[in-house]
Amino acid sequence: MKQHIGIIGLGIMGGAMAQALIDAGHRVSGYDVQPAARQRLKKAGGHSLSSCAKVARSVDIVVTSLPSVAALDAVVQEIKQVPGMENYAVRSMQEYLSMMTPDNLPGFETAIHVVIGVAVTIGFLVIFQSMYTAVTERTREIGILKSLGASKFYIVDAVLRETALLAVIGVIAGIIISMITRRVIVFEKPVLRLFWSNEWVLRATVIAIVGALAGALYPAFKAAQKDPIDALAYE
């Protein structure tokens, strides 16, 4: 069904949208503070109106293409002064973006928890495999330490400290890569908004370190249980 669409702001973007809608067979009415822009709309086959309020009263859908937030606020206030439209919800794109939170998007928070769970599981398995291999390759070194009097706690502590160090290095590298990637995307796509949350960075850091230590626990205890004589004879 073809609709009557109003466009407020007939500059480069607004004029292009108006032309595309007219070509698609929609009725288009519009307003712009510049008479030349209104004249271009007439030549394209649209209807030029004399105010934002008249556009709001005449059409089914209002689309704005304005140069600033201040201009948008002024248009919203003018539209709300139209009799019968004072109770209508008029929201800017900034307001819509602010509403896109886990609380307002059904299933989004569940999806985040699933992704976190998968990431923690993968991290656990990767650290487990890496540290298990490292302990196996260092069997002779562990045997030497134990023959020199190293306690089980010392062996476990050494493995876990190495794991924590690797996790911290990985977290720092991940944060740096994320920041560089964000800069590149913003540079290439200036209109694309990317939000950086320090809270989520902290959460990710805690999850990464805890997952890494959990994955290293079994290899650490396995290393601590090795018999020094068998370890020294390991090839």
SS3 30: strand
Confidence of residue 232 (pLDDT cuts 50, 70, 90): low
The reported pLDDT for the residue numbered 180 is 92
Beta bridge partners of 28: 5
- Residue 24 is part of a domain; what is its CATH number? 3.40.50.720
Cα–Cα distance measured from residue 158 to residue 162, given in angstroms and rounded to the nearest whole number: 6
Same domain, 226 and 121: yes
CA distance 78 to 89: 13
Residue 180 belongs to what domain range? 108-232
Which of the listed residues 99, 127, 143 is the one where a domain comes to its end? 99
Q: What is the pLDDT of residues 13-56, one digit of tens each?
A: 888 888 888 888 888 999 998 889 889 999 889 888 888 888 88
Q: What's the chain's length in residues? A: 235
- How much is the CA Rg of the chain, to the nearest whole Å? 31
Residue 97: band (very low, low, confident or very high) from pLDDT cuts 50, 70, 90: low
Q: Which pLDDT tens digit goes with each residue over 175-190?
A: 999 889 988 888 887 7
- The sign one gets for the Cα dihedral 219, 223, 227, 231 is positive
Domain boundary among 38, 72, 99: 99
- Based on the structure, what is the number of domains in the chain? 2
Cβ contact 225:134 at 8 Å:
no
Calpha distance 92→79 (Å, rounded): 13
